[in-house]
Amino acid sequence: MNTPIIQTAPPQPAKKPAAPVQKEDAMWLQKEMINRNYHELSVAHDQGRKICATFVPGNLNELVMCFDMARSLPETNALQNGMRKKSGKFIMDAERDGHSEDVCTYVKSDLGMMLNGNIGPTGEPLPSPDLLLLSYTGCFTFMKWFELIRQKYGCETTMLHVPYQGDGRISKNMRDYVVGQLKKTVIPALERVSGVKFDIDRLRQYMKESVKAEEDLVHVLQSAKNRPSPIDGYFGAVYYIGPIFTAFRGTPEATQYYAVLRGEIDERLRQGKGPITPDGELKEEKYRLVVEGPPNWTSFREFWKMFYDEGAVVVASTYSKVGGVYDFGFRHDPDHPLESLADYCLGCYTNLNFSQRIDMICRYMDEYQADGLLINSIKSCNSFSAGQLLILREVEKRTGRPAAFIESDLVDPRYFSAANIKNRLESYFQMIKQKRTAAAVH
């Protein structure tokens, strides 16, 4: 390896505020990491670093790091703006600017943020990217999103087209196509924009770090197979996946983060404790659910509270696999780095076909001993949402366990109807309870 990995000081847990919100230490740590990435982005150009914007599913973080580029993820920006209650205005500003009310609110939140001066979620300015790396995995909207912001930024764009697993498998042709694009299109673009020559050994080194973090993440997510589950595999998991799905996969900080997280969760498991919620530890696990679909971000805590107030724990979720499906064995492979990147991109959850998605959910229902499936259908996200009602029917048919359906949106507060969702959830929990009682009688 010719080029050393840039090492930064390991992140320290942020100081816990006096606010009543309770989080695991690892949750504070990941918040600190995400905030620090925003700061690094804001000063990147001043420090002579180029910025690469890219997406979460199929992100090529290890590869981009080989070119010393800072990484910006527009979905994360939209998500963070949603959690900070900023996205509603951004979306309406984008609609006033001519964008349809029908389309993805992540896109409109991003465009609205640009219209408002491109100040990032943490309050620091987000400089224009130098390269838009359109790694287009599992969602056509990504393609239009970067075409839209390319019109504004005017910077170079490079596309990584990841074919869909229409036949439920990764063929050699698909893998070769992705690798061919990496070699002939993506890497040359990264070299051109960054001025740094590609070093495959550096990529291998980052991937070795990725594997450690992936192992620990899987261990943490699978801890939910225990009763009680020491984690919430949806609301809690979105914190756990933050570093590995974004700008940190392949870094020593991520490795350290996942080691800390694993230690914490193992300790909770040893003590027989339930998950930490914003209102403290969940004392009694009454319902175990599998959830399909992303969460709502604008009312995230309110949404979560509807679950833990009823003693409901999400033991597995598909959303926590959107930036990589690791729990069925995939790991980045330093010995075959480009092929491994291809397999990673091809294997992200929304790039799986329907049979694979249904199989995966049924497997979770079984392995995590779930009482039922809940689908949170997101208006913005056709990639997830189109066809979810068939998933619901098929999973009910195959598992014999009840499924329920609620609707909300990612970052558009206009589409989060708390009373409606709460009513449905309460009815659903009631139904599970009745089924349980009936089963006990028979």
In whole angstroms, how close is the CB of 266 to another protein at the nearest point? 38
Residue 103 binds another protein (CB under 8 A)? yes
- Pick the closer one to another protein by CB: 164 or 300: 164
Residue span binding another protein (CB under 8 A) among the ranges 53-61, 81-89, 145-153, 316-324: 145-153
Residue 424 binds another protein (CB under 8 A)? no
Strand pairing class (280-281; 276-277)? antiparallel
Judged by CB under 8 A, the residue of 141, 210, 256, 408 near another protein is: 141
Looking from the CA of 250 toward its CB, the CA atoms found within 13 Å total 24
CB neighbour burial string for 214-247, b if at least 16 within 10 angstroms, e if fewer: bbbbbebbbbbeeebbbbbbbbbbbbbbbbbbbb
In whole angstroms, how close is the CB of 244 to another protein at the nearest point? 24
Residue 318 binds another protein (CB under 8 A)? no
Beta bridge partners of 161: 136
Judged by CB under 8 A, the residue of 87, 340, 388, 399 near another protein is: 388
Looking from the CA of 276 toward its CB, the CA atoms found within 13 Å total 19
Judged by CB under 8 A, the residue of 64, 66, 139, 289 near another protein is: 139
- Pick the closer one to another protein by CB: 108 or 268: 108
- What would the x/- binding string for another protein be over residues 111 to 130, using CB under 8 A? --------------------
Residue 417 binds another protein (CB under 8 A)? no
Instruction: Write the CA distances from 438 to 227, 399, 434, integer angstroms.
Output: 22, 17, 6
Residue span binding another protein (CB under 8 A) among the ranges 47-55, 137-145, 306-314, 340-348: 137-145
Burial of 167 (C-beta count, 10 Å sphere; 0-12/13-18/19+)? exposed
Asked whether the beta carbons of 381 and 294 are under 8 A apart, the reply is: yes
Residue span binding another protein (CB under 8 A) among the ranges 8-16, 47-55, 80-88, 163-171: 163-171
- Pick the closer one to another protein by CB: 182 or 370: 182
Judged by CB under 8 A, the residue of 64, 69, 78, 107 near another protein is: 107
Residue 383 binds another protein (CB under 8 A)? yes
Instruction: Write the CA distances from 303 to 142, 300, 312, 418, integer angstroms.
Output: 27, 5, 12, 8
**Interior angle at CA 258, CA 313 and CA 378, nearest 5:** 45
Asked whether the beta carbons of 89 and 234 are under 8 A apart, the reply is: no
- Pick the closer one to another protein by CB: 103 or 259: 103
In whole angstroms, how close is the CB of 355 to another protein at the nearest point? 6
Residue span binding another protein (CB under 8 A) among the ranges 38-46, 246-254, 264-272, 348-356: 348-356
Element (H, E) at 112: helix 105-115
Instruction: Provide the 8-state DSSP code for 352.
Output: S
Residue 136 binds another protein (CB under 8 A)? yes
Judged by CB under 8 A, the residue of 184, 270, 419, 442 near another protein is: 184
CB neighbourhood size of 386 (10 A): 11
Sign of the CA dihedral with 264 first, then 267, 269, and 275 last: negative
Where along the sequence are the contacts to another protein (CB under 8 A)?
97-100, 102-104, 107, 136, 139-141, 143-145, 147-148, 150-151, 154, 157, 159, 161, 163-164, 166-167, 173-174, 176-177, 180-181, 184-185, 353-355, 357-358, 377, 379, 382-383, 385-390, 394, 407
